[in-house]
Amino acid sequence: MIRLRLERRTDTPVWMQIVLPIAAVVLALLICSVLVAMAGAPVLDAYSYLFLSTFQTFYDVQDTLVKASPLIWTGLAVAVAFRAKFWNIGAEGQLIAGAMASAFIGQRAFLPEITLIPLMLLGAMAAGAAWALIPALLKVKLKVDDVVTTLLANSIMLYGLMALLEGPWKDPVSNYPNSPVIREAAQFPILIGDTLHMGVAISIIAAIIVWWLMERTTTGFAIKAVGANPQAASYAGFSVGKVMLTAAAISGALAGLAGAGEVGGIRYQVVSDVSSGYGYAGIVIATLADLNPLGVIPAALFFAVIMNGADAMSRETGVPVYLANVIQGVALLTMVAGRLFTLYRLRITRREVAHG
């Protein structure tokens, strides 16, 4: 009789770590092609509009890179937190906290112009880190479930933002729930073209820095050690609580910088939909990248492409724009399922059947 069983791997081949995200995306597209067909559209035509429309003009390329920037930040934030087994579902709220802090600083008339952008970035990092540290402290000190607290913290921060936009920050002229516009000196410089701002370059550099932090420093080693086995890490001399708090602070700071990028590089003020779900998308991006900071860059670019291409696909073929969200969700599921085979290998065994 033939039996199938899972056998834990002693190590995972490098090629498998590279191929797995690609295979997960391809499988997700194959699954979603059924939905495209059900919508009555040619699958190849729909996917060509979805992926190629974002590269038709230089402006389209710029727009895709700008869209990828906050996704890189939130993907990095989740990757660092998850490495330490701090299940940070709160990048959305931390992004909003960073946006609010950067907008507040960017409006200050008494600050010298040259200090505005650096202070906005530092303020966004501090706000995001502080908001992430609250659920981290609850987990470390009181053993409160971090999935629940980080998720609830998103709603608290969102309603706090709405209270500001409908109150002190409400535009007295237009009566719109928008914060005041930041000073011109606080707006990020445009590097190339019309929209490619400084924040895009910083996010890519940040991915390299976070990779170096995780792979080449004691802090990164401690974070990975605590995530892999807290008991062994504690026995080796690491303070599990302090390491987890450090990971939470770094994670929140990265998410906060996504908010600074939205305020300083695109909107120049805070609006109610300043995040647009980037925090939640960061969870899928980090998972698709297998928590690798460098892998976050192509994963974020893939998401930016399907987000921007969804409108063109819908306009040309009639497929609902929500298919982009479905692809994201299915890619997450296929990646999680595929990771099983990076940890285990499938073994086929034969067992003789006794005959009476």
pLDDT digits (tens, 9 = 90+) for 173-183: 777 888 999 99
- One DSSP character per residue, 117-160 reads HHHHHHHHHHHHHHHHHHHHHHHHHH---HHHHHHHHHHHHHHH
Q: Is 254 a domain residue? A: yes
By three-state DSSP, how is residue 196 classified?
A: strand
Q: How much helix, strand and coil, in percent to the nearest 5, is found in the chain?
A: 70, 5, 25
pLDDT of 343 above 80? no
pLDDT of 354 above 70? no
- Report the alpha-carbon angle 70-104-99, nearest 5: 15
Q: Are 126 and 64 in contact (CB under 8 A)?
A: no
Q: Are 255 and 279 in contact (CB under 8 A)?
A: yes
Q: Is 355 a domain residue? A: no
Q: Is 206 a domain residue? A: yes
Who wins on pLDDT, 92 or 345? 92
Distances (CA, A) of 274 to 65, 118, 280, 300: 17, 21, 13, 18
pLDDT of 356 above 60? no
Strand (E) or helix (H) holding 6: strand 2-8
For residues 19 and 329, give the distance between their C-alpha atoms in angstroms, rounded to a whole number: 19
For residues 180 and 270, give the distance between their C-alpha atoms in angstroms, rounded to a whole number: 8
Q: Provide the CATH number for the domain around residue 148.
A: 1.10.3470
| Number of domains forming the structure of the chain | 1
Q: Is 336 a domain residue? A: yes
- Segment 316-322 shows an average pLDDT of 86
Q: Is 195 a domain residue? A: yes
- The parent domain of residue 27 ranges over 2-350
pLDDT of 3 above 90? no
Number of alpha carbons in the 13 Å side-chain half-sphere of residue 233: 22
Q: Is 158 exposed, middle or buried (0-12, 13-18, 19+ CB in 10 A)?
A: middle
Q: Is 208 a domain residue? A: yes
Share of residues in the chain with pLDDT > 90 (%): 65
Q: Is 356 a domain residue? A: no
Q: Is 91 a domain residue? A: yes
pTM: 0.92
